[in-house]
């Protein structure tokens, strides 16, 4: 499982000009799922998202989590996080999980984050052509990979 986490002042997702999810201050999380990902990987990553201290405290230091600031989460599925560009110029997405694995895991992640955050996580629409509008705060952008947990 791979993720790109962005600290945002606001973010929204729309599909065919309809807003599917929007947040004010919080985290915009792009998540990609591969076949090897497990429920344990999903739980590990969700805990990281919730506890990641990347919001400023009263001294301007990154010491607060999304929970600490009563922030929000917008979760977007993004299979392109598994793009392989080693050969040729057209990316291969062979490592991205197929629909029957990826969609249920994305939905599980949303439910798990909602229970941890104790408020509804906002979503895109899995597999749709989504338009994301965001105001990155910082900017602060962090990448994570469950296959490389020792470095995260």
**Hey, CA dihedral for 125, 22, 118, 57, is it positive or negative?**
positive
pLDDT at res. 84: 85
In CATH, what number is assigned to the domain containing residue 19?
A: 3.50.80.10
Give catalytic residue positions: 80
Q: Which domain holds residue 79?
A: 2-151
Q: Which two tokens stand for residue 22?
A: 């929007």
Q: Calculate helix-pair angle for 99-117, 39-51, nearest 10 degrees.
A: 40
Residue 132: Cβ within 10 Å count: 16
pLDDT tens digit sequence for 48-74 = 999 999 999 999 999 999 999 999 999
pLDDT score at 87: 86
As given in the structure block, the two tokens for residue 9 are 């002042």
Tokens for 106, please give them: 């994305």
- Longest CA pairwise span in the chain (Å): 49
- In the chain, which stretches have pLDDT less than 50? none
pLDDT of residue 95: 85
Per-residue pLDDT at 147: 83
- What is the model's pLDDT at position 152? 62
Shortest CA distance to 11 belongs to which of 80, 85, 72, 93? 72
Number of domains in the chain: 1
Instruction: Report the alpha-carbon distance of residue 6 to residue 43 in Å, rounded.
Output: 19
Query: What pLDDT, in 10s, does the model give residues 76-87?
Result: 999 989 888 888
Residue recorded with tokens 């910082």: 138
Pair 11, 24: CB distance under 8 Å: no
């Amino acid at each position: 499982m791979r993720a790109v986490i962005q600290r945002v002042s606001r973010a929204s997702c729309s599909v065919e000009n309809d807003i599917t999810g929007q947040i004010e201050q919080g985290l915009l999380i792009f998540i990609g799922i591969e076949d090897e990902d497990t429920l344990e990987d999903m739980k590990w990553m969700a805990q990281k998202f919730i506890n990641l201290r990347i919001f400023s405290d009263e001294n301007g230091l990154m010491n607060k989590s999304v929970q600490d600031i009563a922030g929000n989460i917008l979760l977007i599925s993004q299979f392109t996080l598994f793009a392989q560009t080693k050969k040729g110029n057209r990316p291969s997405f062979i490592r991205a999980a197929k629909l029957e694995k990826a969609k249920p895991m994305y939905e599980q992640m949303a439910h798990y984050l909602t229970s941890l955050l104790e408020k509804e996580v906002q979503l895109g629409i899995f597999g749709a052509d989504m338009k994301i509008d965001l105001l990155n705060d910082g900017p602060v952008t962090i990448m994570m990979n469950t296959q490389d947990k020792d470095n995260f």
